[in-house]
Amino acid sequence: MEVGFIGLGAIGHPIAKRLAEQHRLTVWNRTVERAQAFADETGATVAASPKEVGTGAEVVLACLPNSPEVEAVLAGTNGDGLAEGLEPGALVIDLTSGIPSSSKRIAEDLAAKQVAYLDAPVSGGTSGAAAGTLTVMVGGSDEAFARALPILQVFGKRIEHVGPVGAGHALKAVHNSLIALHLFGLGEALTTLAKAGVTPRKALDVINASNGKSFVSERLIPERVLTREWPRTFRLALLDKDVGIARDLMADVGVEAPVLGLVSKLLHEAALTLGDEADHVEVLRIHERRAGVELSG
């Protein structure tokens, strides 16, 4: 298939790399050097503009920080936007973890050009993208979902059609707010236990053999914090954005969310303290500093 891809960031890059192995891929990235390096690596074609990605493409995937960036790339400047190039019958798959109300607006605008749209955010991290084992949560019509499935299967293992346009973004934001909740809960739990004489390794061994465990306790903290490796795979700024989307969604639908409200506030403060490039797991550094302990071992 003629496939376009926009946004070769931390997770976009490994997804696009898998697509390049099976389809004719044309890419565009804001920083053109990244697109060129990707093309040198994979044989993909570099487009001069988002419009050029759309021209002749059957499917275009976007993987950008948030929905405003997707809307800006669709609109472009001086007629070079993706929407300008898309032809009737094309399909846009938005892998961005974005905003449900924005995705509904985008879908309506594209429908006027007879272009289909799915919100299809992913979970499973950069390693899951490279391995083709991502979870994909899709919002949109049955017909568009059926068309997208062979493309999503190139990088996804569990692919769920979760509802109409916007449903994928809603689920992704709420899911990521649970990760944030676990990061804060475990930061408090493990620093408390360290000061009470239980080593972080011993505490996690017991928690992970019991019912309080989570992905954060089983994988993220043992592999990244206890080892002091702190790899940067998913920026804290992006998790902050996701939790903000979940908080706004809860307000929109009229659900009171005091716990998430507090997590959102703390996470935003952490993002400001740790900076734009910090990884989401580095939230634990704040707990370490505050308690005066190191969660290693």
Cite the active site residues: 172
Please, what is the minimum distance in Å from the beta carbon of residue 257 to ligand NDP? 20
Phi/psi at 138 (5° precision): -110, 135
Please, what is the minimum distance in Å from the beta carbon of residue 16 to ligand NDP? 10
Question: Judged by CB, which is closer to ligand NDP: 84, or 242?
Answer: 242
Under 8 Å between Cβ of 148 and 91: yes
Question: Judged by CB, which is closer to ligand NDP: 200, or 282?
Answer: 282
Please, what is the minimum distance in Å from the beta carbon of residue 245 to ligand NDP? 10
Question: Judged by CB, which is closer to ligand NDP: 69, or 80?
Answer: 69
Q: How far apart are CA 247 and CA 257, in angstroms?
A: 7
Q: How far apart are CA 62 and CA 29, in angstroms?
A: 10
Please, what is the minimum distance in Å from the beta carbon of residue 198 to ligand NDP? 31
Sign of torsion, CA 188 245 247 253?
A: negative
Angle (nearest 5°) at CA 35 between 33 and 36: 65
Phi/psi at 284 (5° precision): -65, -25
Q: How far is CA 76 from CA 35, 73, 95, 107, 295, in A?
A: 18, 5, 19, 17, 46
Three-class secondary structure of residue 192 per DSSP: helix
Q: How far apart are CA 242 and CA 80, in angstroms?
A: 29
> By Cβ distance, which residue is nearest to ligand NDP?
9
282: which DSSP letter? G
Phi/psi at 17 (5° precision): -60, -40
Owner of token pair 């692919």:
159
Question: Judged by CB, which is closer to ligand NDP: 32, or 146?
Answer: 32
Please, what is the minimum distance in Å from the beta carbon of residue 43 to ligand NDP? 19
Three-class secondary structure of residue 277 per DSSP: coil
Q: How far apart are CA 287 and CA 267, in angstroms?
A: 12
Binding site for ligand NDP (CB under 6 A): 7-12, 29-31, 34, 63-65, 69, 72-73, 96-97, 122-123, 125-126, 233-235, 238, 242
Please, what is the minimum distance in Å from the beta carbon of residue 263 to ligand NDP? 17
The closest alpha carbon to 23, from 52, 59, 51, 55, belongs to 59
Q: How far apart are CA 16 and CA 19, in angstroms?
A: 5
Question: Judged by CB, which is closer to ligand NDP: 155, or 234?
Answer: 234
Question: Judged by CB, which is closer to ligand NDP: 16, or 250?
Answer: 16
